[in-house]
C-alpha cells in the first residue's frame, strides 16, 4: 500500500478525504491554535473538530496563522446532541460555520445517534444540496442506527466516525459500513494514549525504527481507516504524520489485529447520558 501524507480516500459522494488528520478534542485555551498551525505547517491538510469541543474559533485562528489556503484544507465538524434533539440542525450548523470563519465545511457529522437524527439528517441533506456541507456523515452510529437512517433518506452517509483501535475493531459494524460504501473513520485511534501499556507496538516499532504511536497509526492506515490522532505537542504532531516511509508486514498487522478485546475507552453509543 503506497501512501503519503496527502493520500485521500474516495468517499461515496465522489469526494477525496485526506486519510490522516489532526484531532482537536480537549485541545483548548490556545493549545488548539498552536496545534492546528503546527500541523498545517507540517503538511497536515485535515482537521477534525466539533461544536461541543468549543474550539472552532481557535481552529479558525490556527488555520489563519498557518497561511495554508482554505481550499487546501479538509475541515470536519459535528452537530451537537442538544441541537439534534431540539430540531436545530440548521442553527447549529450556521453557528459552526461562523465560528470557523468559513463559507462551507468539508464534512458535517451528526455527533451521536440521539432522538431527532432523522429530521437532522434531512437538514444535512439540504445543506449538502446548498453546497454548505460538501460531504455529510454520521458518528457513533451502530448497525441499527445506520439501517434506520438509510431507510428514510435520500443520501447514504459518506462517513461513520466511531471509536476504533486494536482493542475495539467492531468487525460487524465495519463490514456493514464497507457493504454500504460508508468510509470508516477512527476516533481515539491511539486509545487516548493507553497504547503505551502494550509492549507489542514498541516491539514492532523497533523493527522499523519507528515509535509505538507510529506503528498504531500505520496499522489504521493499512486497514483502510481514516485516522485523526490528537496531540498538542509539536514534536508528536510531526511524529504522528511521519508514518509513510515504512510498511507493516502481514504478520505484524495480524498480531495487532489479535489485540481485539471489545475494549472501549469512550461511551457506548446506546448508553450515552449527554
Ligand atoms: P487519541 O486516541 O488520538 O489519543 C490522544 C492522546 O494520545 C494524546 O492526548 C496523548 O496523550 C497521546 N499521544 C498522541 N500522540 C502521541 C505520541 N506520538 N506519542 C505518545 N503519546 C501520544 O485520542 P482522542 O483525542 O480521543 O481521539 C482523536 C480525535 O478523535 C479527537 O481529538 C477528536 O477529534 C475525535 N473524537 C471523536 C469522537 C466522536 O464522538 N466522534 C470522540 C472522541 C474523539
pLDDT in tens, 166-218: 999 999 999 999 999 999 999 999 999 999 989 999 999 999 999 999 999 99
Residue whose CA is at the smallest distance from ligand 1 atom 30: 187
pLDDT at 38: 98
pLDDT for residue 113: 98
27 grid coordinates: 485541545
CA distance linking residue 18 with residue 26, whole number of Å: 22
Ligand 1 contacts CB of residue 189 (under 6 A): yes
pLDDT, position 2: 85
In the residue annotation, 44 being an active-site residue is answered as no
- How remote is the CA of residue 47 from the centroid of ligand 1, in Å? 12
Please name which of 159, 178, 226 lies closest in space to residue 8, comparing C-alpha atoms. 226
Average pLDDT value for residue range 83-104: 98
Question: Quick check: CB of 264 below 6 Å from ligand 1?
Answer: no
Q: What is the pLDDT of residues 216-245, one digit of tens each?
A: 999 999 999 999 999 999 999 999 999 999
Give residue 65's pLDDT.
Answer: 98
Q: What is the pLDDT of residue 1?
A: 67
* CA quadruple 91, 93, 96, 98: dihedral sign: negative
Q: pLDDT at position 135, please?
A: 99
* pLDDT tens digits along 37-77: 999 999 999 999 999 999 999 999 999 999 999 999 999 99
Residue of 20, 21, 23 best suited for mutating to test ligand 1, as the one with most atoms within 8 Å of CB: 23
Give the three-class secondary structure for 168: strand
Q: Which of 53, 104, 108, 167 is catalytic?
A: 53
User: Does 166 contact ligand 1 (Cβ within 6 A)?
Assistant: no
Q: Answer yes or no: is the C-beta of 41 below 6 A from any ligand 1 atom.
A: no
Mean pLDDT of the 29-34 span: 98
Between the CA of 71 and the centroid of ligand 1 the distance, in Å, is 25
Amino acid at each position: 500500500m503506497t501512501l503519503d501524507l496527502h493520500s485521500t480516500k474516495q468517499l461515496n459522494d465522489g469526494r477525496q478525504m485526506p486519510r490522516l488528520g489532526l484531532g482537536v478534542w480537549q485541545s483548548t485555551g490556545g493549545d488548539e491554535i498552536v496545534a492546528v498551525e503546527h500541523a498545517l505547517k507540517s503538511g497536515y491538510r485535515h482537521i477534525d473538530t466539533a461544536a461541543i469541543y468549543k474550539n472552532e474559533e481557535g481552529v479558525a485562528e490556527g488555520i489563519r496563522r498557518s497561511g495554508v489556503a482554505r481550499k487546501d484544507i479538509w475541515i470536519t465538524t459535528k452537530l451537537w446532541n442538544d441541537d439534534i434533539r431540539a430540531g436545530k440542525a440548521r442553527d447549529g450548523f450556521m453557528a459552526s460555520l461562523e465560528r470557523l470563519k468559513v463559507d462551507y465545511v468539508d464534512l458535517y457529522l451528526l455527533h451521536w445517534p440521539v432522538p431527532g437524527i432523522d429530521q437532522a439528517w434531512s437538514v444535512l441533506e439540504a445543506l449538502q444540496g446548498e453546497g454548505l456541507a460538501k460531504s455529510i456523515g454520521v458518528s457513533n452510529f451502530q448497525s441499527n442506527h445506520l439501517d434506520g437512517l438509510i431507510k428514510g433518506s435520500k443520501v447514504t452517509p459518506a462517513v461513520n466516525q466511531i471509536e476504533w483501535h486494536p482493542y475495539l475493531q467492531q468487525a460487524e459494524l465495519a463490514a456493514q459500513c464497507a457493504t454500504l460504501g460508508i468510509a470508516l473513520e477512527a476516533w481515539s485511534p491511539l486509545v487516548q494514549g493507553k497504547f503505551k501499556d502494550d509492549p507489542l507496538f514498541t516491539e514492532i516499532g523497533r523493527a522499523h525504527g519507528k515509535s509505538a504511536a507510529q506503528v498504531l497509526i500505520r496499522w489504521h492506515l493499512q486497514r483502510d481507516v481514516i485516522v485523526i490522532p490528537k496531540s498538542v505537542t509539536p514534536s508528536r504532531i510531526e511524529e504522528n504524520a511521519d508514518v509513510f516511509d515504512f510498511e507493516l508486514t502481514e504478520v505484524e498487522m495480524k498480531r495487532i489485529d489479535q489485540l481485539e478485546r471489545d475494549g472501549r475507552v469512550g461511551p457506548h453509543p446506546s448508553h450515552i447520558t449527554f
